[in-house]
Each structure stands twice: as structure tokens, then as C-alpha cells.
Amino acid sequence: MGIILAVLSAITFAFVMFIGKQTVNRKADPILISTFYQLAAALFYIPIIFSEQTKIPTGVEPWLLFTLNMVLYTIFTLANFQMNKHMDISLTSILGQSKTLLMFVGALILFQEPVTTNKVVGVLLIITGNVVLFLNKKLDTRGINRKGMFYLGLTIIALTITAFVDARLVQEFSINFYGMISYFIPGLLTIPFLLKNLKTTEIKSGIKKYLYPILLMGVISPIGYSALLEAYKLAPKSVVYPIGNISTLVLVLLGVIFLKEREKLQRKIIAAVIVVAGAILLSI
């Protein structure tokens, strides 16, 4: 069941990223989308909070970890939409899976999960997939730019750390309550950046223009996040983390088919398949 939930989460978040990319492609301000998408997700979480008994920690350590995660989720969301503005999702989805290597090693160290041949081969395949993306007769860096890579780096670091902290905190919080505040607080924290970047009239017109994609992401995201948090409880962390790579193949296909991201098409598809194969091996 944990693996099924992890797959559901990966596919769900692939569609959230796709909708976000479509929105910023339409010249939407990334910070505006980041802020109101998170607040919308928190709003849609409220009805399902009451489906379980609310549980919150009493110790100091969980709250310190929670504070760290809220800051990192704020950084991740702001950087993620900026990254989508500067680079193709069919490219960033492959490069972004470098975090799998960090998550895998971290799961082995922090949770003392065993190393197997399948997991070692899986790691090597993920590395190979990223190399294939840029190998031609010479190094091919088309589609890469400094801003995009900077924001990509921030998302990798932030998402890697939050994944480990989430896996720890799901033991302390009830899942749906934790999911709700994990969207609500970062949404609030992005508001000062939004007010600095846009005038009130621009914010109002932006909400009106992009209301439907914001609400759609807000509805879908709680499904994916709650599924992920539940998967942390039911399956080994070194299995759950790599399954997120399935979103890579979904995003490559969505980017190529719907967003016409055809540059390096053959290598993108080959790289995505190799990366997903590596993720499957890591999960066995």
C-alpha cells in the first residue's frame, strides 16, 4: 500500500508542476502563483482534517524541525515556480532527480536501511540518465541557464531536507493537519515577497486571471502530499524517496506533448526512461 501511495503522490505532483509551468508560461508572476496556490491547498485541506483525530507533538525537537521545514518549503515553492519560468519542465524534471541520490544516501545513514545490489545499480542508472541528457559529440548545454540552474539547486537542497524531516514528523503529527499547515504557513511567509514584487492592483488582476489553475493546483496538491506522508509511514524511506522519479517520465511526456518542449527530444526520453528504471530498482 505504501508503494501505491508513493506512486499516486508522484503522478499527482507531476500534474501540479505541469499546471504551474503552463501558468508561468502565460506570463503569470511566479510569486503570486506560489502564494495563492499554497493558500488554496491549505483551504482545501480543512474539510479532511476532521477525518482523523488531530495529533500535535508536545516536545521541543519536533517543533524545531517543523520550523525548519516551513522555512525550507517556502524557499522550495518560491524557487520552484521561478525555475519553471526559466527552464523547460522536461529538462528540470530529469535534472531535479539528482535529489534522489541525496535522499537515498540519507535514508541509508539516518534510517539505517540496508544496501542491496538493486539499489546500487539503481543509483548508477539515475546518474547515467542525467549524463545522457547532456552527452552528444560534445557537452550539450542547450536549455540550461544560470538563473534556472540556481533555482533548481535551491529546490533540490530544500526538497531533500524537507523529505527527511517530513518522514520524522509524520510520527508526531496527524497527517492531514500537518499537510494543511505545511501549505498554510509557507503561503503566509511568501506574502511579503509578493507585496514587494507586485502592486495591490496587479495582485488582484493576477488572482482573477489565474484563479482556475490556482484552485486546480490547490485541489490536487493535498491528495499528493497526504499520500506521500502516509507512504512514509507504510514503506521504507529508501523505497518511497526514489518512487518520486516516476514524475520525471510523466513531466517529460507532458512537456513534450503539450508544451512543445522538443529540444533534445530523443535524449530527454532516453534519459527519463533510464532514470525511472533506476528508481524502480531502488524500490525493489
The pLDDT assigned to 139 comes to: 52
Tell me what pLDDT residue 13 has.
87
Q: Is the pTM of this model over 0.85?
A: no
Is 120 among the domain residues?
no
pLDDT of residue 164: 86
Share of the chain above pLDDT 90, in %: 36
Contacts of 165 (CB under 8 A, 6+ apart): 65, 66, 68, 69, 72
Within-domain flag for 26:
yes
Which tens digits make up the pLDDT trace of 49-66? Answer: 888 888 999 889 999 999
pLDDT (0 to 100) of residue 252: 78
> Above 80 in pLDDT, residue 104?
no
Q: How many domains does the chain have?
A: 1
User: What is the rounded (10 degree) CA torsion for 17, 20, 24, 25?
Assistant: 70
Share of the chain above pLDDT 70, in %: 90
* Residue bearing the bigger pLDDT, 61 or 105: 61
User: Which of 234, 164, 182, 193 lies closest to 29, judged by CA?
Assistant: 193
Q: Residues 6 or more apart from 227 whose CB is under 8 A from it?
A: 5, 6, 8, 9, 12
46 located within any domain: yes
Q: For position 19, what pLDDT does the model report?
A: 92
pLDDT digits (tens, 9 = 90+) for 24-39: 888 889 999 999 999 9
Phi, psi of 235 (to 5 degrees): -130, 155
Q: Tell me the chain's radius of gyration from C-alpha atoms.
A: 18
How do residues 217-270 score in pLDDT, each as one tens digit? 999 999 999 898 888 888 877 677 667 667 777 877 887 888 777 777 787 788
Residue 67 lies in a domain: yes
**What is residue 102's predicted lDDT score, i.e. its pLDDT?**
74
Give the residue with greater pLDDT, 103 vs 53: 53
Structure-block grid coordinates of residue 144: 540550461
Flag whether 281 is in a domain: no
| Among 248, 261, 80, residue whose Cα is nearest residue 153 | 80
| Any domain includes 131 | no
Q: What is the pLDDT of residue 261?
A: 74
**136-193 pLDDT, tens digit each:** 655 555 667 788 889 989 998 998 899 889 988 988 999 899 999 999 999 999 999 9
Q: Which residue has the higher pLDDT, 191 or 129?
A: 191
pLDDT at 124: 83
Give the model's pLDDT for residue 162.
92
| Containing structural domain, residue 60 | 2-115+144-240
pLDDT confidence bin for 41, thresholds 50/70/90: very high
8 Å CB contact between 107 and 160: no
Q: Shortest CA distance to 279 belongs to which of 238, 224, 251?
A: 238
57 within some domain: yes
Residue 160's pLDDT is: 87
Query: pLDDT confidence of 111, banded at 50, 70, 90?
Result: low
68-77, 82-91, 99-108, 181-190, range with the lowest pLDDT: 99-108
260 vs 223: CA distance, rounded Å? 28
pLDDT of 202 over the 60 cut:
yes
Give a yes or no: residue 137 inside a domain.
no
Determine the pLDDT at residue 61: 94
